[in-house]
Structure 1
Amino acid sequence: MNRASGMHAGDHYFVPEPSKYPIVGSVALLLFGSGAALWLNAVPAGRWMFFLGIATLIFMMFGWFGQVVRESQGGRYGRRVDKSFRWSMGWFIFSEVMFFAAFFGALFYARVLSVPWLSSGDNAALLWNGFSGAWPTAGPYAADPFTPMAAWGIPAINTLILLTSGVTLTFAHYGLLNGKRGQLKLGLAVTILLGAIFLALQAYEYIHAYEALNLRLESGIYGSTFYLLTGFHGMHVTVGAIMLTVMLFRTFAGHFSPEHHFGFEAAAWYWHFVDVVWLLLFVVVYWL
Structure 2
Amino acid sequence: MSGQNDSPYYFVPNPSRHPVTASIGLLIMLGSFGLWLNDTPWAPYTMFAGLLWLLFVLWHWFGDAISESEGGMYGKRVDLSFRWSMSWFIFSEVMFFGAFFGALFYAREIAMHQLGSLDYKLIWPDFSAVWPNEGPAALAGHFKAMVPFPVPTINTALLLSSGATLTVAHHALRDDHRNKAIAWLAATVVLGFAFLCMQAFEYIHAYNELNLTLASGIYGSTFFLLTGFHGFHVFLGGTMLSVVLVRLIRGHFNPDHHFAFEGAAWYWHFVDVVWLGLYVVVYWL
Q: Same fold (TM over 0.5)?
A: yes
Partner in structure 2 of residue 126 of structure 1: 123
**In 2, distance between residues paired with 1:275 and 1:283?**
13
Match for residue 141 of structure 1 among 114, 137, 141: 137
Q: Name whichever of 138-147 and 220-229 sits farther off.
A: 138-147
**In 1, distance between residues paired with 2:31 and 2:228?**
22
When normalised by structure 2's length, the TM-score is 0.91
**In 2, distance between residues paired with 1:47 and 1:207?**
17
**In 1, distance between residues paired with 2:223 and 2:164?**
27
Partner in structure 2 of residue 154 of structure 1: 151
Partner in structure 2 of residue 217 of structure 1: 214
The verdict on how the C-alpha distance between 1:33 and 1:132 changes in structure 2, with shifts beyond 3 A counting, is closer
8 Å CA contact 1:138, 1:223 repeated in 2: no
Post-superposition offset of 1:28: 3.2
Post-superposition offset of 1:148: 1.0
Post-superposition offset of 1:59: 2.7
The verdict on how the C-alpha distance between 1:192 and 1:9 changes in structure 2, with shifts beyond 3 A counting, is same
Partner in structure 2 of residue 65 of structure 1: 62
| Amino acid in structure 1 at the alignment position of 2:78 | V
When normalised by structure 1's length, the TM-score is 0.90
8 Å CA contact 1:8, 1:78 repeated in 2: yes
Unaligned runs of 5+ in 1: 1-5
Match for residue 107 of structure 2 among 99, 102, 110: 110
Unaligned runs of 5+ in 2: none
Q: Name whichever of 49-58 and 115-124 sits farther off.
A: 49-58
Partner in structure 1 of residue 72 of structure 2: 75
The verdict on how the C-alpha distance between 1:228 and 1:36 changes in structure 2, with shifts beyond 3 A counting, is closer
Post-superposition offset of 1:96: 0.9
The verdict on how the C-alpha distance between 1:62 and 1:225 changes in structure 2, with shifts beyond 3 A counting, is same
Post-superposition offset of 1:139: 2.0
The verdict on how the C-alpha distance between 1:141 and 1:275 changes in structure 2, with shifts beyond 3 A counting, is same
Post-superposition offset of 1:197: 1.2
The verdict on how the C-alpha distance between 1:235 and 1:213 changes in structure 2, with shifts beyond 3 A counting, is same
Any runs of at least 4 consecutive aligned residues in structure 1 with deviations exceeding 3 A, and if so which?
Answer: 26-56
Matches within 5 A, 1:38-53: 50-53=47-50
**In 2, distance between residues paired with 1:32 and 1:158?**
27
**In 2, distance between residues paired with 1:38 and 1:213?**
24
Matches within 5 A, 1:1-288: 8-33=5-30, 35=32, 50-127=47-124, 129-142=125-138, 143-288=140-285
* Pairwise CA RMSD: 2.2
The verdict on how the C-alpha distance between 1:221 and 1:41 changes in structure 2, with shifts beyond 3 A counting, is closer
| Amino acid in structure 2 at the alignment position of 1:101 | G
Identity %: 56
**In 1, distance between residues paired with 2:137 and 2:111?**
14
RCO greater where, 1 or 2, for CA within 8 Å and sep 6 or more? Answer: 2
Partner in structure 2 of residue 3 of structure 1: none
The verdict on how the C-alpha distance between 1:33 and 1:235 changes in structure 2, with shifts beyond 3 A counting, is closer
8 Å CA contact 1:34, 1:49 repeated in 2: no
The verdict on how the C-alpha distance between 1:73 and 1:228 changes in structure 2, with shifts beyond 3 A counting, is same
The verdict on how the C-alpha distance between 1:243 and 1:213 changes in structure 2, with shifts beyond 3 A counting, is same
8 Å CA contact 1:185, 1:251 repeated in 2: yes
The verdict on how the C-alpha distance between 1:49 and 1:217 changes in structure 2, with shifts beyond 3 A counting, is closer
Post-superposition offset of 1:124: 2.1
1:225-264: per-residue Cα shift (whole Å, max 9, x none)? Answer: 1111111111111111111111111111101111110001
